Amino acid sequence: MLSKIGPAITIITLFFLASCGESPRKETKPAQVLEATPDTLDTTSGEEEGEEEAPEAFVLTEDNAIDFFFDYQKKLKVDQVKITTSMGDFTVALYDNVPYHKANFIYLTRKGYFDNTMFHRVVKDFIIQGGNADNKATAMKRSAIGRYLLPPDTRKGYKHHRGTISMPSSEIDNPHMLASPYEFFIVVTDPGSYHLDGEYTPFGRVIEGMDVVDAINQVPVDSGDWPKQNVYILKAEVVR
């Protein structure tokens, strides 16, 4: 288990949603999600003189993600994100000394990634897990932002108390428990789910609206823990 960020981290390909019993669900790709493909480039010959090519969009990869978030977190002066759901809103405060996970969550929030995703896994009296959806739009957003994982950061002294927001890990070929950056889970267990400590990275806590988190945790679910009636993340926004 990695205790801090180090060089030469091998980051594996990101997958989507998969079941894992009484642990946060590890990501694999649901069959319903269609992979997005880049728009077809104009290959017409004979460009007009003086015409400039459009700059290539920045995409995160396994090679550049760590350096990017290392630089990104240096400039951050915010640490709170408000999440508005179809059942109400709640606010999380992010820990400063878990810099890569904090930076990732704020970056994705500012990119609008979480908007119109869902709480796709709900385990009563345990967790709610969000950040995925069984639609093409979410797959397209992931493709546009990039494919990458984050190293764990589990030794900062944070435990999975009730209200903790933490990050699930990718499932496939992942001995270092690298985190799936597009998803998060929130602990509702009272006083906490401490068997998760050391395996997943707590990176913040709910400071307002825990009653909304509890209400989401009580919705009826199917045999795969997916809510029978979709619970949407309508918007995530940095508030402080």
> Would residue 101 count as lying in a domain?
yes
Q: Is the pLDDT of residue 129 over 90?
A: yes
Q: Which domain holds residue 226?
A: 65-238
In which residue are the tokens 């913040």 written? Answer: 204
> Would residue 105 count as lying in a domain?
yes
Rounded mean pLDDT, 34-47: 38
Contacts of 22 (CB under 8 A, 6+ apart): 123, 126
Centroid of chain to Cα 77: 20
The rounded mean pLDDT for the chain is 83
What are 184's strand-pairing partners?
Answer: 130
Q: Tell me the whole-structure pTM to 2 decimals.
A: 0.79
> Would residue 21 count as lying in a domain?
no
pLDDT of residue 11: 34
Alpha helices, DSSP H, located in 113-233: 136-145, 210-217
Pair 137, 117: CB distance under 8 Å: no
Count of the separate structural domains present in the chain: 1
Contacts of 124 (CB under 8 A, 6+ apart): 217, 218, 221
Confidence bin at 4 (pLDDT 50/70/90): very low
Q: Is the dihedral of CA 207, 81, 209, 16 positive or negative?
A: negative
- 7-33, pLDDT tens digit by residue? 333 333 333 333 334 667 665 333 333
pLDDT of residue 176: 67
> Would residue 179 count as lying in a domain?
yes
Pair 124, 218: CB distance under 8 Å: yes
> Would residue 48 count as lying in a domain?
no
In which residue are the tokens 């240096």 written? Answer: 74
Q: Note the residue count of the chain.
A: 240
> Would residue 50 count as lying in a domain?
no
| CATH code of residue 154 | 2.40.100.10
- 54-87, pLDDT tens digit by residue? 678 999 999 999 999 999 999 999 999 999 999 9
